[in-house]
Amino acid sequence: MDERTASILGQLAAGRIPANIPTDAEYAEQLSRLAAYLDEIQRFTLALSNGDLSRTLSRDAMGPVAGSLKSLHAGLKHLTWQTKQIASGDFSQRVDFMGEFSAAFNGMVANLDESRTELEEAYAHMSEDMEALQRMSAELKESEERFRLIAESVSDVIWTLDASMESFTYVSPSIASLRGFTVEEAKRESFAEALTPESFSFVRDCLTQKLACFRESGDMECFSERIEVEQKCKDGRIIPVEVVISAITTADGNIKEFVGISRDITERKKEEEKLKYRSTHDSMTGLYNRAYFDAELDRITKGRQFPVSFIAADLDGLKRVNDSIGHEAGDRLIKGAATVFRAVFRGSDVVARTGGDEFIIILNETEEQTAINLIDRVRTCLVDYNEKNEGLPVSISLGAATAHCAEEIQYALKEADKLMYEDKVSRKQQRE
């Protein structure tokens, strides 16, 4: 073997492809084919290692090395196709021709398949949650719109107050008709400024008690109560208002804010005052009636403000006038007596018509002599009244007595009544 051939074989054995094989070298043709074969194998192997599966071996490449490379090339191409199938969502692909890699690959695909199932289930749940959220959002929007329409159309004022009981977070437009403020002006007010000082203290104490009840029981019924307060109007007026206050809680049960409804009860209060007046006053004279007298007598009996003097008064000749002239004339006498009593007695004295022609005056913290002096004033006023008013003269019999303790009250009443009748008899005898 010549030296050139030996050198070429040495390069090939070292994995280097000779750049040129002389044609006149020993075994030149065989060496050229071997060099070309090794070059193709080398290039093909390099392409595989770089992930280039587009290169192929020629049909002339034969032998176990070329066959193994062709088999590897086919396996990699099939693996590439399987990977694309997995990427498109086909997790049924499995590899069974690459040893340990197959087990690792198949395990990865199985995990991906399981993860996809979990993601699909999570997506389904999320879709359901989104649909539920959209429904809730639509319902909330509808509810808010309904609340807005109601709040803007009712005459009552609907409002919300923060949990600290300091600032309003919402006030309905009807605040303008209730107190004369715009919504913006009302929201700028503090809770304390919206009420009179007395009412604010009352509501604050009331809410504090209700909060304590709620925190102890968790029952919203703690707030279900109507309260009456006084509120200041923009023009300075003070009006009576009925308020119903409840609370809105957070998911964890804490108070988020208070919600209230305020209603003007001015007219109702006027009607109540009328009813109260009618229940305690005589409709003809405007003096207190028997019911009020009895209640006041009970209060005095239980109290300690003594002495208390009583004046018993009886309108003379009323029955005779009613029978002979008529009840209209008798009513004028009753009203005349009432006019005289108003002229004599103080606003703090209780002047009551206790019967058709009977009157009793309660003089709190008054000694007997003062009561006697007042009887004299009644008689003086009677003369003056009769001189100024035409028609039948008003004549009244009077008697006074004093109680210095609760035990003497009934005795004093009887004594005053007795003295009144004595006065009636005495004056009748004088006229005869």
Least confident of 84-98, 333-347, 372-386, 387-401: 84-98
Average of per-residue pLDDT values in the chain: 88
Give the confidence band of 210 by pLDDT, cuts at 50, 70, 90. confident
Q: pLDDT value at position 152?
A: 61
**What DSSP designation does 393 have?**
P
- 47-51, 145-149, 160-164, range with greatest mean pLDDT: 160-164
Concatenating the DSSP letter of every residue in 247-315 gives: EEE-TTS-EEEEEEEEEE-HHHHHHHHHHHHHHHB-TTT-SB-HHHHHHHHHHHHHS----EEEEEEEE
Give the confidence band of 13 by pLDDT, cuts at 50, 70, 90. confident
Domains of the chain and CATH, by start: 3-87 (no CATH), 154-265 (3.30.450.20), 281-431 (3.30.70.270)
Tell me the C-alpha distance between 209 and 49, whole Å.
83
**What DSSP designation does 195 have?**
B
Q: From 362, 374, 373, select the one nearest 409 (Cα to Cα).
A: 362
| pTM beyond cutoff 0.85 | no
pLDDT > 90 in the chain, percent: 53
